[in-house]
Structure 1
Amino acid sequence: MTYLFVACGGAIGACLRFSLTELMASLLGRAFPYGTLSVNLLGSLIMGLMIGAVQQGYIEAQPWRPLIMVGLLGALTTFSSFSLDTLVLLQQGAWLKGALNVLLNVTLCLGLTWLGMQWMINRG
């Protein structure tokens, strides 16, 4: 049953990733990997909210951890795409954009994970 939860979450996450990436490209263009950044930020916030909710006892780890944290967020967040986007920017000589992509993804994703976790911990 756990594998079914992971698979269902993964299917939803993959569809969300595609949709959000395309939306961001249509809104902001493709000169910078806004879609990858957006899904990484959203996934980080959701991860923080989920782990905070589990730690505080608002939700049970099963089935939410395999469904959301492993399946959905595993498919939604895009570290491999982030790595490729950054490498392509660097290969194109866009050093500033490449560095900005690394800085934004790492600092903002860590910050949003922490924020989501703190929000769930302090909500009661």
Structure 2
Amino acid sequence: MTFLLVAAGGFLGAICRYAITLFFADKTNRHFPMGTFLVNLFGSFLLGLVVGSSMNGGFYAFSAIGFLGGFTTFSTLSVELVELFKSGKYKAFFLYLSCTYLGGICTAFIGMLLMVAFIKM
């Protein structure tokens, strides 16, 4: 059953990521991959919330492993970074790299703190 929950969550997460990426592809230029950037930061925040809630079982498998695993993307981030570097957009490359990693860590931490504070209320 856990495999089905992870698969269903992953399917929905990947579809949501694709839709968001398409939305931002039409609204921004390719100097900075805004869709992937926002998806990864929002996904980090949501994962922080889930982890901060200390949930486990089926809902964790569906949401954290499945949905957020399919929603966020390391591979697309990596390819976009390589494309920025190869095209000589070094400023965008370093900005994207640093903002994604630092922002992801910060948003995950904020999500965890918020959920822990909410649970203690």
Q: Could you state the TM-score of these two structures normalised by the residue count of structure 1?
A: 0.92
- Write the deviation string for residues 73-97 of structure 1: whole angstroms up to 9, x where unpaired: 1111011110110011000011110
Residue in structure 2 matched with residue 50 of structure 1 by the alignment: 50
Give 1:24 deviation, angstroms: 1.4
Residue in structure 2 matched with residue 57 of structure 1 by the alignment: none
SS in 1 for 2:57: helix
Residue in structure 2 matched with residue 77 of structure 1 by the alignment: 72
Structure 2 residue 58 is the aligned partner of structure 1 residue 102: no
Q: How many residues align?
A: 119
CA distance in 1: counterparts of 2:110 and 2:22, whole angstroms:
26
Q: Which runs of 4+ in 1 moved over 4 A?
A: none
Q: CA RMSD in A?
A: 0.9
CA distance in 2: counterparts of 1:27 and 1:3, whole angstroms:
36
The equivalences for 1:19-30 within 5 A come to 19-30=19-30
Residue in structure 2 matched with residue 2 of structure 1 by the alignment: 2
Contiguous gaps of at least 5 residues in structure 1: 55-59
Residue in structure 2 matched with residue 34 of structure 1 by the alignment: 34
Identity, in percent, stands at 33
Give 1:44 deviation, angstroms: 0.2
CA distance in 2: counterparts of 1:93 and 1:103, whole angstroms:
17
CA distance in 2: counterparts of 1:76 and 1:15, whole angstroms:
8
Give 1:32 deviation, angstroms: 1.5
SS in 2 for 1:30: coil
CA distance in 1: counterparts of 2:11 and 2:27, whole angstroms:
24
CA distance in 1: counterparts of 2:115 and 2:31, whole angstroms:
35
